[in-house]
Chain A
Amino acid sequence: MIKIAQLSCGTEYSSVQYEIEKAARTVGANIVHPDVSASEINAAVERFGFKPQSPQLRLMIARAVQLADKKYDADAVFIATCFRCAEGALVRNELRRFIQDNTRLPVVTYSFTERLKAQQLMTRMEALVTIVTRKELLARERQSGITAGIDSGSSTTKAVIMIDNRIAGKDWTPSGDVIASAEHVMENALRQAGVKLKDIEAIGTTGYGRYRLGKHYNAKLVQEELTTNSKGAVWLADRQRGEATILDIGGMDNKAITVRDGVPDNFTMGGICAGASGRFLEMVSKRLKIEVTELGALADKGNWRNAKMNSYCSVFGIQDLVTTLGDGKTFEDVAAAACHSVAEQVYEQQLQEIDVRHPIIQVGGTSLISGLVAAVGEILGSKPIVPQNSQYIGAVGGAILSSGFLEGM
Chain B
Amino acid sequence: MKVFIDPPNSLILFDLVEREGHEPLSTMAAIQEKMERTEIDMPPMNISLEDVMKGLKYAGIEVPSGVRGRLAVWGPMIESAEAAIIMEDCPYAFGCVGCHRTNLMVRYMIKKRGIPVLDVNYPNDEDQARDLVVMIRQFLGGLK
- The short answer to whether A and B are in direct contact, CB under 8 Å, is yes
A15 to B47, CA, bound (A): 5
A13 to B97, CA, bound (A): 11
B53 interfacial contact with A, CB 8 Å? yes
User: Are A15 and B69 within 8 A (Cβ)?
Assistant: yes
Q: A288-319 interface mask toward B, CB cutoff 8 Å, 1 = contact, 0 = none?
A: 00000000000000000000000000000000
User: Are A18 and B98 within 8 A (Cβ)?
Assistant: no
Residue among A13, A18, A57 with most chain B CB within 10 A: A13
Q: Which one of B15-23, B60-68, B116-124 contacts A?
A: B60-68
User: Are B65 and A82 within 8 A (Cβ)?
Assistant: yes
Please report which residues of chain B, range 96-112, place their CB below 8 angstroms from some CB of chain A when the two chains form the complex.
96-101
A178 to B55, CA, bound (A): 41
A11 to B42, CA, bound (A): 12
- Chain A residue numbers with a CB within 8 Å of B67 are 10, 82, 85
Shortest Cβ distance from residue B59 to the other chain A in the assembled complex, whole angstroms: 11
User: Are A54 and B42 within 8 A (Cβ)?
Assistant: no
Given contacts A55-B94, A85-B66, A112-B65, contact A18 B99 (CB under 8 A): no
Given contacts A18-B43, A82-B67, contact A57 B62 (CB under 8 A): no
Residue among A9, A14, A17, A18 with most chain B CB within 10 A: A14
Given contacts A12-B44, A114-B69, contact A83 B98 (CB under 8 A): no
Considering the complex, give the chain A residue whose CB is closest to the CB of B96. A13
Q: A61-85 interface mask toward B, CB cutoff 8 Å, 1 = contact, 0 = none?
A: 0000000000000000000001111
Shortest Cβ distance from residue B88 to the other chain A in the assembled complex, whole angstroms: 13
Q: A1-42 interface mask toward B, CB cutoff 8 Å, 1 = contact, 0 = none?
A: 000000001111111111001000000000000000010000
Interface magnitude class on chain B: 20 to 34
A48 to B143, CA, bound (A): 46
Q: B20-60 interface mask toward A, CB cutoff 8 Å, 1 = contact, 0 = none?
A: 00000000000000000000011111011101110000000
A83 to B42, CA, bound (A): 20
Across chains A and B, the number of contacting residue pairs, with CB separation under 8 Å, is 93
User: Are B100 and A53 within 8 A (Cβ)?
Assistant: yes
Shortest Cβ distance from residue A66 to the other chain B in the assembled complex, whole angstroms: 15
Q: Of A21, A55, A115, which contacts B98 at CB under 8 A?
A: A55
User: Are A15 and B52 within 8 A (Cβ)?
Assistant: yes
A87 to B49, CA, bound (A): 23
A53 to B102, CA, bound (A): 11
- Chain B residue numbers with a CB within 8 Å of A56 are 94-95, 98-99
A222 interfacial contact with B, CB 8 Å? no
User: Are A115 and B94 within 8 A (Cβ)?
Assistant: no
Q: B86-97 interface mask toward A, CB cutoff 8 Å, 1 = contact, 0 = none?
A: 000000111111
A114 to B54, CA, bound (A): 12
Shortest Cβ distance from residue A121 to the other chain B in the assembled complex, whole angstroms: 15
Residue among A16, A55, A83, A112 with most chain B CB within 10 A: A55
- Chain A residue numbers with a CB within 8 Å of B64 are 10, 14, 82-85, 88
- Chain B residue numbers with a CB within 8 Å of A84 are 62-64
Considering the complex, give the chain A residue whose CB is closest to the CB of B104. A53
Residue ranges of B at the interface with A (Cβ–Cβ < 8 Å): 41-45, 47-49, 51-53, 62-70, 73, 92-101
Residue ranges of A at the interface with B (Cβ–Cβ < 8 Å): 9-18, 21, 38, 52-57, 59, 82-85, 87-88, 112-115
A sample of 28 cross-chain residue pairs with beta-carbon separation below 8 angstroms, ordered by A number, consists of A9-B98, A10-B64, A10-B65, A12-B45, A12-B69, A13-B47, A13-B66, A13-B70, A13-B73, A13-B99, A14-B52, A14-B66, A14-B69, A15-B52, A16-B65, A17-B42, A17-B45, A38-B92, A54-B98, A59-B98, A82-B64, A82-B67, A85-B101, A88-B64, A112-B65, A113-B65, A114-B53, A115-B49
Given contacts A9-B98, A114-B69, 18 further A-B contacts (CB under 8 A): A11-B66, A12-B47, A13-B45, A13-B73, A13-B99, A14-B52, A14-B66, A15-B48, A16-B65, A17-B42, A18-B42, A55-B92, A55-B93, A55-B97, A56-B99, A59-B94, A84-B64, A88-B64
